């Protein structure tokens, strides 16, 4: 069991949406919070509400992640938990995506997680009591849909990375654990992701505008509580919408059939 009381938790993309919901849940469980976000103004507002530290961070930049770690250690002297949450989610058909689209999506959604792992895993592993790595993926990794193919590619990478990380940590006897979060529809600002894309970086991506049924939507704080429970249980998967299983089961049935299992 990973307890949060007194631990230092860094949350990327923590100024709003799922990141803020996780930060709030961890804070209420007794954790000391670092809000890392591309928007320093929003990060400061979120951190102030949680009596935490705000650090402007671009997860696609390895040096920015290193600066985040240094700021965390300078302020708290330690770090126990990393939540790789920052991500973008615009949409486009694969045939319409430019290389610039692919580079931007991969740099934020996948390289951002890799940068976090590269920077923070050694620091957390050095803690005698261990700690936790939380990577926020998506239901799209389990059941990809058009026109979210590019997004699904990045989240499938995050999921595979976390599954292998958890296995390697267990095999090495590490006191560090890993959880991958697979959110379904959550009320966040992911529909305005393009606001953070460099103005000169023109491509074919458009804002996310898929509209699931109203009853499927969850609030970020609800997701935060689900993640908190998963971390406490050292669970590999944190599923926010178990009612979406039939969609995943249908995909898995096709895979099983291809293996001659049906």
CA distance 111 to 102: 12
DSSP-based three-state secondary structure for 238: strand
Closest CA to 26 of 102, 110, 109, 83: 83
Q: Two tokens at 153? A: 């590619």
40 Cβ contact list (under 8 Å, min separation 6): 54, 56
Per DSSP, the residues of 130-198 read -EEEEEE--GGGTS--TT-HHHHHHHHHHHHHHHHHHHHHHHTT-SEEEEEEE--SB-SSGGGGGGGS-
Of the residues 104, 142, 151, 208, only one is catalytic, namely 151
H helices, E strands: number in the chain: 8, 7
What's the chain's length in residues? Answer: 262
d(CA 73, CA 111) in angstroms, rounded, equals: 22
The answer to whether residue 151 is catalytic is yes
Question: What's the angle, vertex CA 69, arms to CA 18 and CA 56, rounded to 5?
Answer: 55
85-118: burial string, b at 16+ Cβ within 10 Å, e else = bbbbbbbbeeeebeebbbebbbbbbbbbbbbbbe
Residues identified as active-site: 151
């Amino acid at each position: 069991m990973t307890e949060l009381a007194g631990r230092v938790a860094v949350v990327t993309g923590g100024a709003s949406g799922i990141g803020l919901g996780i930060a709030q849940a961890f804070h209420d469980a007794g954790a000391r919070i670092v809000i890392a976000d591309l928007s320093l103004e929003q990060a400061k507002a979120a951190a102030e509400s949680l009596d935490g530290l705000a650090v402007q961070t671009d997860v696609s930049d390895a040096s920015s992640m290193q600066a985040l770690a240094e700021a965390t250690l300078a302020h708290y002297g330690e770090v126990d938990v990393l939540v790789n949450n920052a991500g973008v989610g615009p949409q486009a058909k694969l045939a319409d995506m430019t290389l610039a689209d692919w580079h931007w999506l991969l740099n934020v959604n996948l390289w951002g997680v890799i940068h976090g792992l590269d920077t923070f895993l050694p620091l957390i592993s050095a803690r005698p009591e261990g700690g936790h790595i939380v990577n926020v993926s998506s239901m799209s990794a389990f059941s990809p849909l058009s026109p979210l193919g590019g997004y699904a590619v990045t989240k499938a990478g995050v999921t595979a990375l976390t599954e292998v990380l958890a296995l390697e940590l267990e095999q090495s006897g590490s006191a560090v654990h890993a959880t991958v979060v697979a959110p379904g529809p959550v009320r966040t600002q992911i529909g305005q992701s393009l606001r953070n894309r460099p103005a000169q970086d023109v491509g074919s991506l458009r804002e996310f505008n898929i509209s699931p049924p109203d009853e499927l939507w969850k609030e970020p704080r609800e997701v935060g509580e689900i993640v908190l429970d998963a971390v406490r249980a050292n669970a590999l998967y944190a599923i926010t919408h178990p009612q979406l299983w039939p969609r995943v089961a249908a995909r898995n049935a096709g895979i099983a059939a291809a293996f001659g299992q049906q």
